[in-house]
Structure 1
């Protein structure tokens, strides 16, 4: 039995015939396909007498070559005839790429679809938040439903495991704030106010904000990927089947862990950023390290700390909600997991920045600006 398909040319009776031999299978027609594409002479018949086996790819190859040369297919086996007929029935002259609408129609239509999708998404998130609140209420009434081990595990993943990367990020942010602030304040001989700038900016804004963005990229994406994979493999449906609430077993521990850990991580981030600013100030501004730290207590109002800590649980809730909601929306295939994970991170970061702007205006209005 031949391993590769091949052909020979027969001439007789004023007709030129291409006789195909061997298996016409997807694994054996690569060389024959190239040869037939390069065949330039006219052909009246395609003889399949010596074709041993054939599959859909082989049948498509024969049909395509016969159409190009306007040739007749002869001596096909019963199997080959069925496949060739099926391939011909599926044949279409439609263009591979559908024609695009005009720009004036396509752009408004796309924008409208996006707006509608955003509306549906907002309604879905609000409904999901309502389900979470109901679950929290049921857990308060029945504390035994709280899965403490799962909560502790999520606290470890969200909080303890992220201390290293958040600490490094915060230290470098403190260095950048102090260095760039000093470079600008030096023009006015006010380098000493670098302490004010570093302390207030980190405790009030950047400490919590950058921590929330880091947690969104680290833990929010993990929530979406984990829950999306479980949804794809029908583990979530299996939990419902055996009477286990996915909201209590999967969602609530993750949300509570993010809400509880964000204030601690935000405070930790702010302290490390101040230390980074003190280090660079000691090196470049000749402000002693301990003097920088002690001065922070005098120049930074205590309400700046409370402002940062007040925003932290809200940011944690937003990050966890986005990750869990998008994870549970996964359906269809594995590609959806990646798409929903990306959407979870984008949604979380966008909402965190929007809420941070809202909080900035709100606290300024109440006199904590």
Structure 2
């Protein structure tokens, strides 16, 4: 029996695939011939599906000696027929395959076996999925920590404008970044801090009024703003404003391969891109914190006068009694550390950007979230440390 005997040759000039059916000692034998390639297998696919292996025999022979060419598509058809026979309990024997055909068939059979094992393997439970995500998160934290320490070490060592060849500090770049991150952030920082100070004063006065102790709202606002809220709110706003900008700028340069270009011409990307921004943040954040403290106290003074009838002079006199230099410096000491954390995390995320806009968006989001999270954790650690030493 000759199946597909009258097929025309394909567009590439190759002989169309043929299937010849015969009997050998009572065993069904199918002789495959022609070119079994991607361009030709569509001509024989229906006939391959229609082969009836269940003819009362325990074995079937596939003679591959007549195949002139075979690729993955043809090998997959043969593998599908073998798998169909095995599913029916029929042994399918291959005869006469070339060395290349044997290697290709073995590879296709191995891939098919792995696919079946993957589909048959049970899906991991919820606990396993959670533990896997935790493990991957721990490894990601380790990688981020090592990258951050690399940037921090390079910055402490110096600007490193040239790779291993001396140092250089670009003061113009530093002042430019101070103007963008510091001076440019004054309006939003002052406005937000004034609103927060006013809210704290209003809520504090509302609660203290029940005890006839509204004057202590000055102590509440002074200590809370100068020790905690002033620097913390400023750091959060800088992380959202400047940290995201750092990640976006470095990430965009990474996407356009400008970072690789800096390496090619012998410049250190950390010295050129990260160092000026990090120095500018360390200088700008304490200054913004001072402005935020004044704005928060100003908002509290106005609300205290309007809501609790506390005169400006009375507020300032009570403030001088309730706070000292230790209270002021307890907040300002945190600012440089928070600035370094924001700058380093933003730079690490920027250098991890891939070649797509989606990657840039993910890294900017991760930069802001991680910076705010670590800043809050650092503020809590400082609070614990100050309480332990009685500062």
Q: TM-score if structure 1 supplies the norm length?
A: 0.71
Is structure 2 residue 207 aligned with structure 1 residue 176?
no
- Structure showing greater Rg: 2
More deviation, 176-185/328-337: 328-337
Partner of 1:159: 182
Shift of 1:362: 1.3
**CA distance in 2 between partners of 1:104 and 1:360 (Å):** 35
**CA distance in 2 between partners of 1:122 and 1:109 (Å):** 20
Is structure 2 residue 356 aligned with structure 1 residue 303?
no
**CA distance in 2 between partners of 1:153 and 1:133 (Å):** 21
Is structure 2 residue 265 aligned with structure 1 residue 232?
no
Residues 143 and 167 (structure 1 numbering): CA distance in 2 closer, same or farther, change over 3 Å? Answer: farther
Query: Gaps (5+ residues) in structure 2?
Result: 1-41, 50-72, 78-111
**CA distance in 2 between partners of 1:143 and 1:237 (Å):** 20
Is structure 2 residue 357 aligned with structure 1 residue 357?
no
Q: What RMSD over aligned residues (CA atoms) do the two structures have, in Å?
A: 2.9
Shift of 1:128: 2.4
Partner of 1:288: 311
**CA distance in 2 between partners of 1:261 and 1:184 (Å):** 36
**CA distance in 2 between partners of 1:143 and 1:254 (Å):** 20
Shift of 1:144: 7.3
Alignment of 1:122-137 (within 5 A): 122-136=145-159
Residues 124 and 298 (structure 1 numbering): CA distance in 2 closer, same or farther, change over 3 Å? Answer: same
Which secondary structure does the structure 2 equivalent of 1:145 belong to?
coil
**CA distance in 1 between partners of 2:269 and 2:195 (Å):** 39
Is structure 2 residue 362 aligned with structure 1 residue 336?
no
Shift of 1:158: 0.7
> Alignment length, in residue pairs?
285
**CA distance in 1 between partners of 2:145 and 2:267 (Å):** 27
More deviation, 251-260/292-301: 292-301
Alignment of 1:1-369 (within 5 A): 100-136=123-159, 145-368=168-391
Query: Gaps (5+ residues) in structure 1?
Result: 1-62, 71-84
**CA distance in 1 between partners of 2:360 and 2:147 (Å):** 18
Which secondary structure does the structure 2 equivalent of 1:284 belong to?
helix
**CA distance in 2 between partners of 1:206 and 1:265 (Å):** 13
Shift of 1:304: 0.6
**CA distance in 2 between partners of 1:179 and 1:282 (Å):** 10
User: Is the 8 Å Cα contact of residues 147 and 248 (structure 1) preserved in structure 2?
Assistant: no
Which secondary structure does the structure 1 equivalent of 2:124 belong to?
coil
Shift of 1:277: 0.4
**CA distance in 2 between partners of 1:107 and 1:361 (Å):** 31
